Amino acid sequence: MKRLTAITLLCTLFTTAFTAGKGRGVVPEYPDSLRSVWFYTEGIKQQTIHRDTARARELLREAVRRDSTYAPAYYELAANGMYRTPAEAVELAGRACRLDSTNKWYRQLYGQTLIYAGRYAEALRLFRRLQTDYPKEPDYYRLVAALYEQTDFPVQAILTLDSAELRLGRIPYLTEMKRRLLVSTGQTARAIEEARADVEATPYEARPHAVLATLYASNKQDSLARAEFDAALAIDSTNVETLMMLADFHTERQDYRALLATTRRLFLSDDMPLETKIRRFEQFTADVRFYREYYLQLHDLAAILAIRYPDDPRVVELYADHLIASGELEQALTLYKIHLADRPAVEKYYSMTIDIESYLQRPDSVQKYVSEALRLFPDRVDFHLARGHVMSYAKQYDRAIEAYEESLPLATTDSLRSVIWGMIGDDWHQKAIGGSEDWDERMDLGLVKLDATFRKNIKRSYAAYERSLRYNPDNVLVLNNYAYFLTIEGRDLERALTLASRATALENDNPTYLDTHAWVLFKLGRLDEARKMLQRAVALDAQNSPALLVHYGDVLQALGEHFMAEVYWKRALEKGYAQELVEPRLKRAREAREAARKTPNTQN
């Protein structure tokens, strides 16, 4: 009768635990010996039903507080991650194990927490006891072998796996582990024997043949390796694992044509994830020389992806990038334009279409696609900037400035705001000079007259540059442009020198910035410094900029080196510099040389 009453009471306990609902609830008035059970079951409910780990931890800890010998609560705390440190996990699992040392699951959890805490020697002792107590559990052999390997006893690990094979027969994952250990300990011949046994046991499965092939390959027995790979592919020619092993084999032998042929078969397989295919293609194309030498094979791989996954944005981008790298800009542009109709619209497709059209200098097309992009993505700052670029290219500076100003509220960083204000400053300057490409030279030669409109627009340009530099004092492009324009006007040269000096301090190997800095020094009469800086600029200039050559000639002329000045001016003329701007310089140099020849005669 008493036993029946106890059972009834426990049933009532479980009923109240699962109807108490989520929340703190009221602890029923059970005898002290059963209150821990109530807290335990309520904690399990909070964990498994309501997923409230914090409340579950609170209840389970209350259970062990009320009864420090209640092992199930310690186990749940450790098993469900309700601890702060690995050491605390070991303590909880260890308490459960010590309270009920015959419980297999408590002992197993204790071993796992010891591994988690990096206490491998203790974990090894525990799992060896479990292996002895439960000799038909293959996972204990695996864990013991792994712990032996971790503690630098690979031979013991192999002996453990041999024991498992004698007791339980060949278990694939244990056999694989032993084979790896044999190879790592230099016992390749024995590993090959093990693999042959697998092949004999399952002659019509592809994997054992492929594994044996890789072992032959590691033992430099390539002909046998190829034979086993052929056997594996004869059984299943589309097996991804076999093909991956074969690809690794070709990679190690640097047989890249065979590697790419195998990769082609992988790319045709639906079993290989697309992410893996894309990653492989990116690895192949990372080396420019490899890309160039195996272009046809790589083009074939890219085409396979484009055909099999035509609407995947990652593949569209990959194939377009491949076409661009191949110089097929028009094909890449066509591909992006085809996908502009995709819904939902993909911003990247519009960005790339606009970029390519801009590169091909088709302002009308750029304007068309920018308008479409702004309709679909009105809050994207990049497209507002692109519209500004189109207007600026078309010399519609008022509309360009308007577009740039509309983009300012969308800019999220001071760096971008600085860039936008720099563009606004550039366009006000272009409006001031009427978009003239050689305004600076004409100004320097006194061929340009400045009116009130010019001064109003140039003032706005400089105000925009100042705002740009307030957002980012190291905006090197603005520093350079602002300094150069001040120098050409011949105003505030000290401010120009400060700006130019900062630009070259930030980028000391940029010939354009060195040219500006030198030109400021030239205007300040610091000719020797200007000459040294221009020498460096000319040496660094891979483009042979004619403007740079003209400036160097001007400095040499001022230093009295008329012949060398003529040499550089003539080189600028050959590079396409306006003849009408070079001829007056050459004329002055000839006159100066003639005067220099006559001067000694007069003295005689």
Per-residue pLDDT for 22 more than 60?
no
Q: In whole angstroms, how far apart are CA 254 and each of 249, 295, 300?
A: 9, 17, 20
Question: Please, which pLDDT band fits residue 437 given cuts at 50, 70 and 90?
Answer: low
Question: Please, which pLDDT band fits residue 405 given cuts at 50, 70 and 90?
Answer: very high
Per-residue pLDDT for 595 more than 80?
no
Question: How far apart (Å, rounded) are the C-alpha atoms in residues 418 and 466?
Answer: 9
**Amino acid at residue number 314:** R
The proportion of the chain whose per-residue pLDDT surpasses 70, expressed as a percent, equals: 91
Per-residue pLDDT for 36 more than 80?
yes
pTM of the model: 0.66
pLDDT value of position 599: 66
Q: State mean pLDDT over 470-486.
A: 94
Per-residue pLDDT for 468 more than 90?
yes
Superfamily covering domain 187-272: Tetratricopeptide repeat domain (1.25.40.10)
Contacting residues for 567 by C-beta, under 8 A, at least 6 apart: 553
Q: State mean pLDDT over 513-526.
A: 93
Give me the phi and psi of 334, to 5 degrees please: -60, -40
pLDDT value of position 476: 95
Q: State mean pLDDT over 332-342.
A: 94
**Range of lowest pLDDT (387-391, 429-433, 449-453):** 449-453
The proportion of the chain whose per-residue pLDDT surpasses 90, expressed as a percent, equals: 59
Q: By the 8 A CB rule, do 77 and 57 touch?
A: yes
Cα torsion through 325, 327, 331, 337, rounded to 10: 60
**Range of lowest pLDDT (145-154, 393-402, 535-544):** 535-544
Question: Please, which pLDDT band fits residue 600 given cuts at 50, 70 and 90?
Answer: low
Q: State mean pLDDT over 245-257.
A: 94
Question: Please, which pLDDT band fits residue 573 given cuts at 50, 70 and 90?
Answer: confident
pLDDT value of position 20: 38
Q: In the 3-class helix/strand/coil scheme, how is 329-372 assigned residue by residue?
A: HHHHHHHHHHHHHCCCCCHHHHHHHHHHHHHCCCHHHHHHHHHH
pLDDT value of position 580: 79
Residue with more model confidence, 14 or 480: 480
DSSP-derived letter for residue 311 is: T
Instruction: Give long-range contacts, CB 8 A cutoff, 24+ apart: 39-46.
Output: 39/63, 39/66, 39/73, 40/70, 40/72, 40/73, 40/76, 41/13, 41/14, 41/17, 42/17, 43/73, 43/76, 44/76, 45/17, 45/18, 45/20, 46/22
Per-residue pLDDT for 394 more than 80?
yes
Q: State mean pLDDT over 236-242.
A: 93
pLDDT value of position 420: 96
Per-residue pLDDT for 192 more than 50?
yes
Per-residue pLDDT for 510 more than 70?
yes
Residue with more model confidence, 198 or 473: 473
Instruction: For 294-326, write each residue's pLDDT tens digit.
Output: 999 999 999 999 999 999 999 999 999 999 998
Question: Please, which pLDDT band fits residue 601 given cuts at 50, 70 and 90?
Answer: low
Question: Please, which pLDDT band fits residue 245 given cuts at 50, 70 and 90?
Answer: very high
Contacting residues for 593 by C-beta, under 8 A, at least 6 apart: 562, 563
Residue written as token pair 């003032």: 459
Question: How far apart (Å, rounded) are the C-alpha atoms in residues 90 and 94?
Answer: 6
Instruction: For 164-176, write each residue's pLDDT tens digit.
Output: 888 888 888 888 8
pLDDT value of position 492: 87
Residue with more model confidence, 128 or 588: 128
Question: How far apart (Å, rounded) are the C-alpha atoms in residues 512 and 537?
Answer: 7
Question: Please, which pLDDT band fits residue 441 given cuts at 50, 70 and 90?
Answer: low
Question: How far apart (Å, rounded) are the C-alpha atoms in residues 219 and 206?
Answer: 20
pLDDT value of position 449: 67
pLDDT value of position 579: 83
Question: Please, which pLDDT band fits residue 201 given cuts at 50, 70 and 90?
Answer: confident
Q: Name the 3-class secondary structure at 269.
A: coil
DSSP 399-425: HHHHHHHHHGGG--SHHHHHHHHHHHH
DSSP 130-191: HHHH-TT-HHHHHHHHHHHHHTT-HHHHHHHHHHHHHHH---HHHHHHHHHHHHHTT-HHHH
pLDDT value of position 438: 64
Per-residue pLDDT for 5 more than 70?
no
Per-residue pLDDT for 4 more than 50?
no
Residue with more model confidence, 441 or 112: 112
Q: What angle do CA 82, 85, 88 make, to 5 degrees?
A: 70
In 3D space, the residue among 389, 371, 384, 391 whose CA is nearest the CA of residue 410 turns out to be 384
Per-residue pLDDT for 26 more than 60?
no
Domain parsing of the chain, residue ranges: 187-272
Per-residue pLDDT for 448 more than 70?
no
Per-residue pLDDT for 433 more than 90?
no
Q: State the sign of the Cα–Cα–Cα–Cα dihedral 150, 152, 154, 160.
A: negative
In 3D space, the residue among 573, 554, 576 whose CA is nearest the CA of residue 564 turns out to be 554
Per-residue pLDDT for 34 more than 90?
no
pLDDT value of position 603: 45
DSSP-derived letter for residue 310 is: T
Per-residue pLDDT for 470 more than 50?
yes
> Average pLDDT over the chain, rounded to whole?
87
pLDDT value of position 11: 38
pLDDT value of position 415: 95
